[in-house]
């Protein structure tokens, strides 16, 4: 069984429309929607927005279902300089907690710089958390072909998870330079922590709904970002290995 996770129901309309053999149950206050897509058994949950909600939901989902993998998806913002546009796809190679650290008079210091590990398991984890390399490497060529067929771009790189969405070009530039990130979101690193804790392979893809710059929602396209991410997930489920 494959677990699917997105922040809010509007990000899963196409997924739910494709779902067959629908069933629903509540576990620890979280609605789990199960069924099949392209003959693959899936369980879908909505985390709510933000790191805390995402981590709590991911732990409940993974503990309840014990899936072979978790596919995280939704919309995200592209940092300037990535050449990503609205409706394009970003594929996570890792997840970074973007604002865990210390704000000092000389700039931001992350947990590694302060020598404060977020987790010791026994490996030390600071701000950077892994995505499953095998899943990433399997999915990338499939999604590259999908992107070319749909005349959109696909880029792979680190994602940055923040508690406060960046609405300033100056701040966005600082974060992108500090982290090397290509895409900003509010849940991914927390889900990566949960997957690492419960030994579940994680894959993450996001559709670009906006550029991370001086905030102007008239320039955004949330439906395009949401649809792109869902179509990518549906494409992967069609090709998922037995």
Mind listing the pLDDT tens digit for each residue in 17-67? 999 999 999 999 999 999 999 999 999 999 999 999 999 999 999 999 999
Provide φ and ψ at 135, rounded to 5°.
Answer: -65, -45
Give the model's pLDDT for residue 165: 96
**Pairwise CA distance, residues 170 & 150, whole Å:** 33
Give the model's pLDDT for residue 83: 94
**Pairwise CA distance, residues 197 & 104, whole Å:** 31
Range of the domain at 44: 2-239
In tens, the pLDDT along 182-224 reads 999 999 999 999 999 999 999 999 999 999 999 999 999 999 9
Closest to 77 (Cα-Cα) out of 188, 3, 1, 151: 188
In tens, the pLDDT along 102-153 reads 999 999 999 999 999 999 888 899 999 999 999 999 999 999 999 999 999 9
Give the model's pLDDT for residue 122: 82
Q: Which two tokens stand for residue 209?
A: 């709904």
Which residues neighbour 118 within 8 Å (Cβ) at sequence distance 6 or greater?
97, 100, 111, 125, 126, 127, 193
Structural domain tally of the chain?
A: 1
**Pairwise CA distance, residues 236 & 172, whole Å:** 31
Q: What is the CATH number of the domain that holds 128?
A: 3.40.50.1580
Provide φ and ψ at 53, rounded to 5°.
Answer: -65, -40
């Amino acid at each position: 069984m494959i677990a699917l996770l997105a922040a809010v129901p509007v990000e899963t309309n196409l997924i739910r429309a494709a779902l067959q053999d629908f069933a629903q149950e509540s576990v620890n206050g979280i609605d789990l929607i199960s069924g099949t897509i392209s003959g693959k058994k899936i369980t879908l949950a909505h985390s709510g927005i933000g790191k805390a909600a995402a981590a709590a939901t991911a732990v409940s989902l993974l503990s309840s279902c014990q899936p072979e993998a978790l596919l995280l998806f939704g919309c995200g913002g592209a940092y300037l300089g990535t050449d990503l546009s609205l409706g394009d796809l970003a594929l996570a190679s890792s997840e970074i907690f973007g604002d865990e650290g210390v704000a000092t008079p000389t700039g931001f210091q992350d947990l590694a710089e302060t020598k404060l590990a977020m987790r010791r398991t026994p490996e030390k984890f600071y701000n950077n958390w892994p995505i499953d390399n095998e899943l990433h490497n399997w999915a990338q060529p499939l999604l590259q072909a999908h992107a070319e067929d749909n005349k959109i771009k696909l880029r792979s790189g680190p994602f940055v998870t923040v508690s406060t969405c960046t609405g300033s070009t100056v701040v966005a530039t600082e974060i992108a330079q500090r982290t090397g990130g290509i895409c900003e979101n509010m849940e991914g690193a927390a889900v990566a922590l949960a997957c690492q804790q419960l030994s579940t392979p994680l894959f993450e893809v996001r559709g670009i709904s906006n550029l991370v710059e001086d905030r102007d929602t008239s320039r955004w396209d949330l439906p395009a970002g949401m649809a792109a991410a869902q179509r990518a997930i549906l494409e992967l489920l069609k090709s998922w290995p037995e």
